[in-house]
């Protein structure tokens, strides 16, 4: 493999640099010109989407594994390189990130506006949008990084803007006093930070360990050396290093029992930031499992699979059951996400092409469907000023469009065929079932539980007699429709025609499976096609 290095326009760097530069510019907009800052951020995110589309369109599924490769020496003494490259999985996730950010910005248009009492010199509005763009830049770069050290830096660095987004811009709809809300918010932000820092710390140890063993940080070189046998690792070393990486990713993903930071963070953050957490930032965790855990430590991955499959199953069932019992809309969505991350991790570690293609698709589809559901929920919450399910009832009567889009978001969450998540969920199930039938069946119960929490949520908030407090709620406005409608359109499109995505993802999955030297289980009866 000798991909063309540093040829032509550094597209990947540009895709990440653009939002970063946009973040700096947005932050620099004068305090009084709040609206200009918002528009700037929106335009930058749209421009990033264009660049991501160029990457997506320019990616050749049949070509090299990593494309658009850029490689520059960074810290020579330690062999750290600024090395970028994307495979199909990275391309898909970059597209997801770039797609979601404009909607996150648009949905959060007023989330950081000054309260009436505030002075004119209110700057956080600029900060809010700058931080979102900063997160986008880091996430995109982390999907591109093929240098372990570079990835590690980004993996940790994105915590900083996220911390401020969670802790600094809480949901204004809360029960209890302002101080109480502030305390809960800072609890959530600190919890988010600590969990991820602990994960990152352990990963740092593993990164150093990897350097000691391998002598450099290049994913491609190490993976190749592992594949052709020139880099031997003692079994126990490999396992420890694997665990170090996996722990960090499992915190971020999040996998049971490392999940409890997510409901707090998603509950306290504003809806767009919650989307940013679960739909974008968390995907770095599952993405990294697929790329780094499997690529660097194939044997250890196989060794750990049974335990991880069990944890993923627990996540699926447990997340769904706890979601049913939630009283807070946003926490419910958070637990639903935990259940979905269980599916993603299950698909990755089933180590079949259906499972891993499904898991990659799942990352994309979960991002979009959760964004749709969560953002509509956010619109609803901002109208009524409460996150409690019990405070709603009969909304469909007063705001039918809101209720309709909420239902579609919910149906996507429960993986209704025709909407994108069905494709990925079924692929994960089939892929898992092919290798671990029992796990496949247990995971299938997830589809009943998903229907339960979604429909219970819909029933309690949207149907029934109209509650007095809800009576005056306005329906979705133009800006909000501009957020929801495209997302739903994408959900439906990818639900009936996922080919553009699968075309890109399939070859990458083939490479990943050959990394771990796994073959798909064959059907018991061969040549069925020939019999036809």
Contact positions with another protein (CB under 8 A) in 220-249: none
Smallest separation, CB 219 to another protein (Å):
23
Do 70 and 59 contact (CB within 8 A), yes or no?
A: no
Pick 434 or 473: Cβ nearer another protein: 434
**What tokens were used for 409?**
């978001």
Residues 41-100 that bind another protein (CB under 8 A): none
Smallest separation, CB 338 to another protein (Å):
10
Which residues are CB-neighbours of 35 under 8 A, at least 6 positions away?
Answer: none
Smallest separation, CB 236 to another protein (Å):
27
Distance, in Å, from the CA atom of 357 to the CA atom of 160, rounded to the nearest integer, reads: 31
Which residues are CB-neighbours of 303 under 8 A, at least 6 positions away?
Answer: 239, 242
Residues 445-504 that bind another protein (CB under 8 A): 445, 447-448, 451-452, 455-456, 458-459, 462-466, 496-499, 502-503
Distance, in Å, from the CA atom of 171 to the CA atom of 510, rounded to the nearest integer, reads: 43
Pairing of strands 67-75, 80-86: antiparallel
Smallest separation, CB 428 to another protein (Å):
11
Q: Name the residue with tokens 């070189």.
A: 221
Helix (H, G, I), strand (E, B) or coil at 63: coil
Pick 20 or 450: Cβ nearer another protein: 450
Span from 94-102, 224-232, 297-305, 523-531 in contact with another protein (CB under 8 A): 523-531
Q: Name the residue with tokens 């501009």.
A: 482
Do 65 and 508 contact (CB within 8 A), yes or no?
A: yes
Number of residues forming the site for another protein (CB under 8 A): 71
- The phi and psi torsions of 117 (rounded to 5 degrees) equal -75, -15
Pick 257 or 385: Cβ nearer another protein: 257
Pick 183 or 496: Cβ nearer another protein: 496
Pick 233 or 290: Cβ nearer another protein: 290
Binding string, 335-374, against another protein, x = CB under 8 A? ------------------xx--xx----------------
Span from 142-150, 240-248, 476-484, 519-527 in contact with another protein (CB under 8 A): 519-527
Q: Indicate left, alpha or beta for 84 from its phi (over 0: left) and psi (-120 to 50: alpha).
A: beta
Pick 53 or 452: Cβ nearer another protein: 452
* Residues shown for the chain: 532
Q: Does 175 bind another protein (CB under 8 A)?
A: no
- The phi and psi torsions of 455 (rounded to 5 degrees) equal -70, -35
- Closest of 91, 107, 1, 85 to residue 51, by C-alpha: 91
Span from 160-168, 233-241, 251-259, 299-307 in contact with another protein (CB under 8 A): 251-259
Smallest separation, CB 396 to another protein (Å):
5
Peptide bond into 257 cis (omega under 30): yes
Find the angle CA(316)-CA(317)-CA(322) to the nearest 5 degrees.
Answer: 105
Binding string, 105-144, against another protein, x = CB under 8 A? ----------------------------------------
Residues 383-422 that bind another protein (CB under 8 A): 394, 396-397, 404, 411, 416-418, 422
- Closest of 288, 289, 264 to residue 277, by C-alpha: 264
Distance, in Å, from the CA atom of 307 to the CA atom of 453, rounded to the nearest integer, reads: 27
Which of 71, 216, 260, 386 is close enough to bind another protein by CB under 8 A? Answer: 260
Pick 72 or 497: Cβ nearer another protein: 497
Do 86 and 67 contact (CB within 8 A), yes or no?
A: yes
Smallest separation, CB 451 to another protein (Å):
4
Pick 208 or 452: Cβ nearer another protein: 452
Residues 314-333 that bind another protein (CB under 8 A): 318, 321-322, 324-326
Smallest separation, CB 1 to another protein (Å):
21
């Amino acid at each position: 493999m000798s991909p063309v290095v540093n040829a032509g326009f550094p597209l990947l760097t540009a895709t990440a640099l653009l939002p970063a530069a946009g973040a700096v510019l947005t932050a620099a907009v004068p305090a009084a010109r709040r609206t200009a800052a918002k528009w700037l951020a929106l335009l930058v995110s749209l421009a990033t989407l264009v660049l991501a589309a160029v990457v997506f369109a320019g990616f050749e599924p049949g070509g090299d594994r990593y494309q658009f490769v850029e490689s520059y020496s960074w810290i020579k003494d330690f062999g750290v390189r600024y090395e970028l490259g994307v495979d199909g999985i990275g391309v898909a996730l970059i597209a997801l990130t770039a797609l979601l950010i404009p909607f996150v910005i648009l949905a959060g248009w007023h989330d950081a506006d000054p309260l009436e009492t505030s002075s004119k010199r209110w700057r956080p509005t600029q900060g809010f949008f700058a931080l979102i763009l900063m997160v986008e830049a880091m996430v995109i770069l982390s999907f591109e990084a093929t240098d372990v050290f570079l990835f590690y830096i980004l993996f940790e660095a994105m915590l900083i803007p996220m911390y401020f987004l969670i802790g600094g811009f809480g949901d204004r709809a809360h029960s209890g006093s302002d101080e109480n809300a502030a305390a809960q918010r800072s609890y959530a932000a600190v919890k988010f930070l600590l969990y991820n820092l602990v994960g990152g710390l352990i990963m740092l140890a593993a990164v150093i360990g990897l350097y000691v063993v391998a002598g450099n940080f290049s994913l491609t070189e190490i993976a190749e050396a592992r594949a052709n046998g020139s880099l031997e690792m003692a079994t126990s070393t490999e396992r420890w290093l694997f665990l170090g990486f996996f722990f960090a990713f499992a915190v971020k993903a999040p996998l049971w029992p490392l999940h409890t930071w997510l409901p707090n963070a998603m509950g306290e953050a504003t809806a767009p930031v919650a989307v940013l957490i679960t739909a974008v930032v968390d995907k770095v965790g599952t993405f990294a499992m697929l790329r780094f855990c499997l690529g660097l430590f194939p044997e250890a991955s196989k060794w750990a699979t049974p335990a991880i499959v069990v944890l993923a199953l627990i996540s699926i069932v447990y997340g769904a059951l706890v979601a049913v019992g939630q009283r807070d809309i946003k926490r419910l969505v958070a637990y639903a996400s935990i259940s979905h991350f269980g599916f993603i991790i299950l698909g990755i570690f089933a180590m079949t092409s259906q499972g891993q293609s499904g898991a990659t698709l799942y990352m994309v589809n979960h991002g979009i469907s959760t964004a749709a559901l969560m953002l509509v929920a956010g619109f609803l919450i901002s109208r009524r000023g409460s996150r409690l399910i019990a405070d709603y009832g009969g909304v469909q009567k007063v705001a039918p469009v809101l209720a309709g889009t909420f239902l579609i978001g919910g149906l996507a969450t429960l993986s209704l065929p025709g909407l994108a998540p069905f494709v990925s969920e079924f692929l994960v199930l089939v892929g898992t079932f092919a290798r671990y039938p029992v796990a496949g069946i247990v995971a299938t119960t997830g589809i009943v539980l998903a229907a339960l929490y979604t429909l219970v949520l819909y029933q309690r908030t949207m149907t029934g007699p109209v509650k007095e407090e809800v009576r005056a709620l306005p329906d979705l406005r133009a800006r909000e429709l501009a957020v929801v409608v495209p997302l739903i359109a994408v959900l439906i499109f990818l639900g009936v025609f996922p080919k553009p995505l699968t075309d890109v993802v399939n070859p990458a999955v083939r490479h990943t499976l050959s990394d771990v030297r796994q073959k798909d289980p064959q059907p018991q009866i061969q040549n069925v096609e020939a019999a036809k």
